[in-house]
Amino acid sequence: DIRFIDPCMGSGHILVYAFDLFTKMYEEEGYQTRDIPTLILTNNIFGIDIDRRCYQLASFALSMKARAYYSRYLRKAIQPNTIVLQNIDHDTIASAGDWDTKSSMWQFENVDTIGSLLQISSDDCVKIQVESGLFGEQQQLLKMQAEYLSSKYHCVVTNPPYLGKGMGEALTNYAKSHYVESKTDTMVMFMERCLDFAKETGYLALINFQSWMFVSNYSDYRKT
């Protein structure tokens, strides 16, 4: 039942470690060794990144970890729940639903820059329509990415990117409007975002610098 996500998974080091922990939990509950890898990759572990190569490495690492536990796993391997965020063009977004002009859905045009910091509501996710024909494949991609970004998880663990300068126009503008108290550095923005990813009684862990504890830029966020 536990949903664990790394929203900045890189090449998957944290996810692979989580796989080991989930394996021990399943073993303690008496599950068969041959069933455990598929159960973990189907139900428990999720990962997001904006770098396609990192996504490929993370998916490969998880598949090899699964095979290490069960040598016949690759005979009927499943795709891990890892995704690389990809930009969606304006026309596809418009065709998938009726969005307010201020809706974050439009930011899927820049999602390869904004990444997991993109805040999508579960209501908007539900409204996405997937049709057959010209826009269908891209609408399906939009819906999948929105589901990852709008879902809640029991455990959120990540080593976020540290970036205070050179964010680019799309990310800078999004940060100013959605991360008012933490916009100075992506590291701190991810603290705020990961709290949103986590369920109310969930667990959160980030590898962060200490600057947010004393730098004046974050005085409001410290109060929060």
Q: Residue 14: what pLDDT?
A: 98
pTM of the model: 0.94
pLDDT band at residue 4 using 50, 70 and 90 as cut-offs: very high
* Beta-bridge partner residues of 48: 83
Strand locations in the chain, DSSP E?
Answer: 4-6, 45-49, 81-84, 153-158, 198-206
Per-residue pLDDT, averaged over 102-108, amounts to 94
Q: How far is CA 18 from CA 1, 74, 151, 158, in A?
A: 14, 20, 19, 11
**pLDDT by residue (tens digit) across 144-187?**
999 999 999 999 999 999 988 888 899 999 999 999 999 999 99
pLDDT at 135 exceeding the cut of 90: no
**pLDDT by residue (tens digit) across 54-81?**
999 999 999 999 999 999 989 888 899 9
Kindly report the backbone phi and psi dihedral angles of residue 207, in degrees, each rounded to the nearest multiple of 5, phi listed first: -95, 100
pLDDT band at residue 134 using 50, 70 and 90 as cut-offs: confident
pLDDT band at residue 90 using 50, 70 and 90 as cut-offs: very high
